[in-house]
Amino acid sequence: MPILRPKLEVPLSSRELPAPVLFRSAHVPAEGLYPLHRHAWGEFVYSFSGVMEVKVAGQHFLAPPQYGIWLPPEVEHVGLNRREAHHCSLYVATAGCGALPAAPCALTVTPLVRAMLEHLRQQAPTLTPGPQDQRLMQALMDQLAQAPCATSYLPHSDDPLLGPVLDALAADPADNRSLTEWAALAHTTERTLVRRCQRDLGMSFAEWRQRLRVVRALPRLQAGDKVESIALDLGYGSASAFIAMFRRMMDITPDEFRKNALPQARGTPT
């Protein structure tokens, strides 16, 4: 796994940033890893292509296209990506973090926020953004401060009964066993797993499995894999069944997602 370092000229040991908000983007290889680190400023992570993952203590956050990850100051975290990805970070001075959540979370990314991030991505990187970019980044911070917060797009559980079931599905997303069958394997009841899904995940088992399959499908769609192959590999009997699920979860079809994502994935990284 290639070891990556946050692309920021300011040392991680520094207590201050040279500007209230800084923008950085990076094109990272498959299986890239940002080792455990922390900094005195806040960070918002968004992935233009691919899916970035951030691990914070016992939490595991993923950033598919409709979410970004907010990390308050002084939070130790690890960043990684399973497939090639192009992501960006907004580094926010401590004084500007008060309007954002006090705990790590996933923030919903609106089309306006994505357009702002895309505009910044096209600019030359600098530690001293000009007045126009400073105003844009402040407007962006205002939008993020109003964004709905979720614990994670694909939360996990350390519960001794539910956790192993989720781990098994993550290892094989095509496994179509019912919750009743998973309960039998876990030596518990379906009702117990239903309660623990709501308690630990905030959603049903079926929705969690669909989200898992969406997350696994996104990088393959961006890589140009055929929809039928992805559908079969994820446990669907036909491409149409997969397309219906994807559209229900993402509000667009796989082909529409691919068309929207590929031009940005090919953009010149900064």
| The token pair that represents 206 in the structure block | 């079926």
- Let me know: does 40 contact 16? Beta carbons within 8 Å: yes
Range 21-150 classified under CATH 2.40.50.140:
no
Residue 33: the pLDDT is: 87
Residue 262: the pLDDT is: 44
Residue 120: the pLDDT is: 94
**What are the start and end residues of each CATH 2.60.120.280 domain in the chain?**
21-150
Residue 7: the pLDDT is: 59
To 10 degrees, what angle do helices 205-222 and 254-265 make?
A: 50
Order of all β-strands in the sheet with 21-28: 21-28, 85-92, 42-49, 67-71, 105-108, 149-150
**What are the start and end residues of each CATH 1.10.10.60 domain in the chain?**
162-265
Residue 95: the pLDDT is: 94
CATH superfamily assigned to domain 162-265: Homeodomain-like (1.10.10.60)
For the chain of 270 residues, list the mean pLDDT of each consecutive stretch of 10.
65 83 89 89 91 82 85 93 85 95 92 94 87 93 93 85 96 97 97 96 94 90 92 97 93 84 34
Question: How many Cβ atoms are within 10 Å of 185's Cβ, its own excluded?
Answer: 11
Question: What one-character-per-residue DSSP string does the chain give?
Answer: --B-----SS-TT-S--SSSEEEEEEEE-TTEEEEEE--SSEEEEEEEES-EEEEETTEEEEE-TTEEEEE-TT--EEEEESS-EEEEEEEE-GGG-TTS-SS-EEEE--HHHHHHHHHHHTSPP-SS--HHHHHHHHHHHHHHHTS-EES-SS-----TTHHHHHHHHHH-TT----HHHHHHHTTS-HHHHHHHHHHHTSS-HHHHHHHHHHHHHHHHHHTT--HHHHHHHTT-SSHHHHHHHHHHHHSS-HHHHHHHHHHHHTSPP-
Residue 126: the pLDDT is: 85
In whole angstroms, give the CA distance from residue 206 to residue 176: 10
Residue 182: the pLDDT is: 97
